[in-house]
Structure 1
């Protein structure tokens, strides 16, 4: 291969570029990114960056020395708009084209917005510009913050908002947040963290609509990262059960949509991501996909660990021209909320049983010292969850990685 193009200047895109050089590719390396920023670390956006404990310099994933070593051609601030049917040309929105022998798709996912007109004070949190705008708003004094969605982004932004002194309410349409990830028993434990953190949690009710009013005076100024100031600002969140929650700021955390629109009309199969085999290889052997956009072996994982582990295998197979290696890593993710660190590893199935093996509960939340819980199926451990028990968790995770056999995609 003379040219490889990485579409997506993301965490997984950067790791793919690193792997290309580490695995001996010395040809032309092109990195396309729709943001103007070089790759940066996204997890702190909802935590330390939002609360002001980290600045933008601490988010950077590369420095001048590594950038020089990669010897890549960076095309930033431009979106890809297409991939030709043979996967040999990447089309850009500014009219340019990149001829290439290999493609790494690392375009990630976009935050899913609420339907309706745009209102000032309503935020999603996915990019650095999103975080800049939200942080600027949360530093304007005490605010009534409503977080829509009780997943990890919702919980982390609620925790950060509460730490900044705001009055926070989380709205979750399901009976409990995080049930798909943790199951009902441990989801109830995490729900108790909201209460312990002084945040109101409303479950079992969706959002009917957002209420707004005309923007006045200084509030009409555009927030950093905003294209133009909306003419109306959010004033309340109306729930499907009729309740109305006054709000100065609304944070929408209702999931993400993989960025695959630009691939319409290509030879690739798209279904909640780019379909790949267990080696991250698509229907075109010269095209691989990694990170949040990749549906690998029937499963799409939006986690930091997946984004950093997939590129090694994907690049190996891309350079080989076929699938020579498959992923065998154990799924792992973590979340920081209300001063507690949650860590999870393994393949949980809805029929698994779960029990707490270390620690106890107080009023439904982990007592001091945290807890360790294991998930089991037919007497075998399938997953492990820790809340503030890092050392026992790491031991359990290593044991699980040694014992766990690959799980059929249908079981996930």
Structure 2
């Protein structure tokens, strides 16, 4: 019987997984595979990833299949498994990063069929093209108009059965327990996996969606979905996430931003390393300032609150991300790549397209139509953390101060144990 390998990467789910659905519909055997590739270190995401893989394995086993986990070079391990099971094709979800596209090119050059499917975005990255020419949209608003009116494929149910070849052992490479997954402590803030993702989406639909338009910038209220880590690992289909609200809903518009940066990255895979729109600018090399920023010790409370949330939770409120990124780039004058690398190391939702696209937006080297814009962190704090609840939560040295004092403690002569500001702000 014909055998197909389904190579899982950033799509760790069984529902709305076009590659898995197509493989199961062929009538032959299906071998689900995930490769722990040392070129893609899990870092702080290791515990979350372990949850994701364990949940995916349980879902596949419930359908008669299993998840084979291997360790090594993704292409080499895929081809080794293909030879062992006699697979004729590899099915995978198309991706946009330079590493992913290199992997796809290498697989396409092997003596095996490769079929790529949608699934990592709502609209496939290369499907919408500007009417005036070009291989991608450079500005969000016209992309949003085209995206909002574009027909979507239906959300696919999970396959009823995943027919694994008989006698196939899912064991790992030597050094890990056969048939088990690498053991890492769960992430302290979020459990990974499709089951947790779907539960959070349903709770968000019931309790958070209606108030999102008014509350998504409320730093202390924390009224966002926190679905981004699940989207990053593909535990949740972005198409299904978008289906919970009308296309004009602000939550769906945020998902469109994710699609936008993916189509930019398809055209410019170096988005995390090189300026998309080079600007003449001399960056400051200030290791002490960078260390203070990373530690949440800049002396600007709203910036420090955001950076300490990142350290504690592996996540940061989107408004806070804008504030801390703007402070590093436009107030301290540090190269955006320094901040992007730090975010990528610590964020559960660290993603090449979104991370690089958003940092370049702030730096004025990306897709922003207003590249010279600079945010004042004090004004941002007054507007989006008016009672300093966010600052009080993450900067405990300032927890006993009145809201205005917590936002600008230097005006009362400073607070013991809390640094003076690195920069002067009005």
Question: Would you tell me which structure has more helix in proportion to its own residues?
Answer: 2
Q: Structure with the greater relative contact order (CA < 8 A, sep ≥ 6): 1 or 2?
A: 2
TM-score if structure 2 supplies the norm length?
0.28
More strand by share: 1
